[in-house]
Structure 1
Amino acid sequence: MPWAQARRVAAAAGRGESRAVVVGLAAAVGCTLAEPLAALTDLPAFDTSAMDGWAVAGPGPWRLTGRVLAGQAGGPLADGEAVEIATGAQLPAGATGVLRREHGSPAQGLLRAQRAVPPGQDVRPRGQECREGEELLPAGVPVTPAVLGLAAASGHDELTVHRRPTVELLVLGDELLSSGVPGPGLVRDALGPLLPPWLAAAGAELIGQRYVRDDFALLRDAVRHSPADLVLTTGGTAAGPVDFLHDALAAAGARLLVDGVAVRPGHPMLLAELPGGRHLVGLPGNPLAAVAGTVTLALPLLHRRSGRPAAPGRRATAAVALPGHPADTKLVPVRHTPQGVTPLAFDGPAMLRGLALAEALAVVPPGGCPAGGRVELLAVP
């Protein structure tokens, strides 16, 4: 299947699967807003001082009448009066501006200014950032720490978000080590550490991660009984002597939606629909090939299930010629330079050294992209 078509099929597989829930602010991080975030109050809710200094009324000099700290409300000021005020404190009624501390000279109950205080000087007026009921963020925005801060500042204790799709990661292969230095015939598992934080950033909730030996029955049962919305497997997608994934899917009653994609690396990736509306994405075992499978099949499906709109396309100029595959799309780790993007070495299917330095994956069409040509860019983990 062509690469672009495979991404569309994966996105369509997640359509209509998200569900809105109401959660406390702390539980909303990593979710996606299911409805617009509207302000429950004006921000700020009252006129506040933007500086430490004095709130003054009218032209100076001013008679000092007291102090207003944050969390307090002072009495009204008459012309010619001033009160010491802290940053963030409510401006007293009648105040016309704030004189910064470094610009004032208080002595014997009088305050004199070293420079004029025009109306509104260093005052944050009520509603400067937003008005009550104003839409602050649209639905579909991922909930980041900054979104939490904005929600809290505007009066929210809870948010309506899309439920995070659950993922179980099955790492396949007898040759994999989860710790230590690789030995004869054995290799370290790179995808177990790489994939979970990337999936979480895509809005998923990882509910399980386990190693499954090269055994048909074990794999069949792991797929059949997984409670996750998306089962993500690494390895076993080709036709080797211990590549049991296709047989396990057939035994579990799955329906293949994508079985191989015209992309390098990663062409033996697959997407299947499991009974009960669940899905499985089978990634190749080679690390960079698995990354290609993740951006092609797993992320579009997860974004749709978590309620996130498709990421806007990014394009860049190729600083040098980007070699391609004669017939397939090629995903190439690249970095930005003043002249455009340039490819990185160590970009073989089993290599991660180039990816670790990459700022994006360039989508190189069949036949390659000449210097000065435009290529699509995909985010990297």
Structure 2
Amino acid sequence: MKSKEPAPVAPATGHRAEQPHRATAWPEARAAAARAGTAAGAGREPRRLPLGQALGHVLAEPLRALTDLPSFDTSAMDGWAVAGQGPWTVRADTSVLAGHAPTAALTDGEAIRIATGAPVPPGTTAVIRTEHSRTEGPLLHALRDVVSRQDIRPRGQECRSGDELLPAGTAVTPVVLGLAAAAGYDELPVPPRPRVEVLVLGDELLTAGLPHAGLIRDALGPMLGPWLEALGAEVLGTRRIGDDAEELYAAVTGSAADVVVTTGGTAAGPVDHLHRVLDKAGATLLVDGVKVRPGHPMLLASLGGGRHLVGLPGNPLAAVSGLLTLAEPLLAALAGTSPTGGRGPAPVLDEVHGHPHDTRLVPVVRRGDHLVALHYNGPAMLRGIAVADGMAVVPPGGARSGQELDVLDLPWPPTSGAVPAQGACFT
């Protein structure tokens, strides 16, 4: 018997009486996104990357030393390895060099020239720095008292084989690469980067040229992919889809991404198809609207199988709000990291107006110890966020001058004062 074709997506009705809007408080929405990412990331097997490719990832497992460091007693200085009490008879025409096997054992009263990092010969009592010694013929004299084991780095001084050097979740920096190499690693275990596909929705969007005849330029298509990559995602691509529910359904259900990010269609207008598409796809809404401005119609849905969809509003700054509220904590948890680290809360220089009931996210720059709110912070505007250091979290009712606000820092270096000279971006 022939299987039935999937039912078409129900046409728009202009309202969603069957699914009443229940917005989530802003902190709870971010927590829900982080929980979803943690649950989905728990079953993902780590990858092993060569050291040269692991920079910018995080450790999927603790970094444990594969050897003692140092792995043998080494000289900490250029000078002389000596045995017993001085003066010492110098072994003629021979030296101990780094990268060479240890020389024969020293006997009491004997000295041999040694280089920094070289293995100390068996029987060595101490190393005397070159500047703390003098020679007279075949004899070496110390110019200072000699303490047993001085200037010798003993085997295992930094760590013993099996010691935990760094915990899982540590960002792989150039120094971490160096430590891993010293500890014996050729590869590092890292969580796989979350795969993301961006679906830009709307018949009204142009990809080139000037706006005209009711059409506007697509600002989100060029912006979202690089932003998501900065958050640690592997972006599979950015696709543009018209206001067609069936096309959107096929794109969402056919995507190979761990996270599908859509723009627009999250409200209840005549061409806002996303809720009906998710319902047809059997998705579970985890967050359906957030008490935040701009961006309150954003949503987060589970598509099953550890896959998720983040629905961003279509207005550019509202979409940025959705990125910071839902996409960033979701992706960070999937990748085993924390959301973008900030420099902590700071007092706002002047009063910042808030929403009566919702959290408000406002582009700000840091000026000394204070935050300065930027103008051009409407839902459709990018002029303010383009020069911002981050988005300040303004509680319902607003913030008074001097009040400390948390800041969602952006995943790239701060502007360091790159605000237009006329200051037109400041409120």
Residue 164 (structure 2) aligns with: 135
Q: Is the 8 A contact 1:49 1:98 kept in 2?
A: no
**Deviation larger for 368-377 or 26-35:** 26-35
Residue 231 (structure 1) aligns with: 260
Residue 74 (structure 2) aligns with: 48
Q: Secondary structure at the match of 1:295?
A: helix
Q: 2:247 aligns with which of 203, 210, 218?
A: 218
Residue 417 (structure 2) aligns with: none
**Deviation larger for 237-246 or 360-369:** 237-246
Q: 2:64 aligns with which of 35, 38, 43?
A: 38
**AA paired with 2:34?**
A
C-alpha displacement at 1:281, in angstroms? 0.3
C-alpha displacement at 1:378, in angstroms? 1.8
Q: Secondary structure at the match of 1:346?
A: coil
CA deviation digits over 1:331-366, x for unaligned, max 9? 122233334322233333333343343333221101
CA deviation digits over 1:8-34, x for unaligned, max 9? 222222342222335233465554433
Q: Tell me the TM-score normalised to structure 2 length.
A: 0.75
Q: What is the 5 A alignment of 1:286-301? A: 286-301=315-330
Q: What is the 5 A alignment of 1:304-323? A: 304-308=333-337, 314-323=344-353
Q: Secondary structure at the match of 1:33?
A: coil
- The percent of aligned pairs where both chains have the same amino acid is 54
Residue 69 (structure 1) aligns with: 97
C-alpha displacement at 1:145, in angstroms? 4.2
Q: What is the 5 A alignment of 1:1-381? A: 1-18=24-41, 19-26=44-51, 28-51=54-77, 53-57=78-82, 63=90, 65=92, 66-75=94-103, 76-78=105-107, 79=109, 81-85=111-115, 87-93=116-122, 94=124, 96-97=126-127, 99=129, 123-178=152-207, 182-184=210-212, 187-308=216-337, 314-381=344-411
Instruction: Check 1:74–1:190 CA distance in 2 against 1; reply closer, same or farther (3 A cut).
Output: farther
Q: Is the 8 A contact 1:55 1:92 kept in 2?
A: no
Structure 1: how far apart are the matches of 2:135 and 2:247?
Answer: 81
CA deviation digits over 1:197-218, x for unaligned, max 9? 4434544332333222333222
Q: Secondary structure at the match of 2:40?
A: coil
Structure 1: how far apart are the matches of 2:202 and 2:132?
Answer: 71
Q: Is the 8 A contact 2:65 2:161 kept in 1?
A: yes
Instruction: Check 1:118–1:5 CA distance in 2 against 1; reply closer, same or farther (3 A cut).
Output: same
C-alpha displacement at 1:190, in angstroms? 4.1
Q: Tell me the TM-score normalised to structure 1 length.
A: 0.83
Q: Is the 8 A contact 1:36 1:138 kept in 2?
A: yes
Q: Secondary structure at the match of 1:14?
A: helix
Aligned alpha-carbon RMSD (Å): 3.3
Q: Secondary structure at the match of 1:347?
A: coil
Paired residue total: 377
Structure 1: how far apart are the matches of 2:370 and 2:171?
Answer: 29
**Deviation larger for 188-197 or 162-171:** 188-197
Structure 2: how far apart are the matches of 1:47 and 1:217?
Answer: 70
**AA paired with 2:40?**
E
Structure 1: how far apart are the matches of 2:120 and 2:221?
Answer: 55
Instruction: Check 1:98–1:366 CA distance in 2 against 1; reply closer, same or farther (3 A cut).
Output: farther
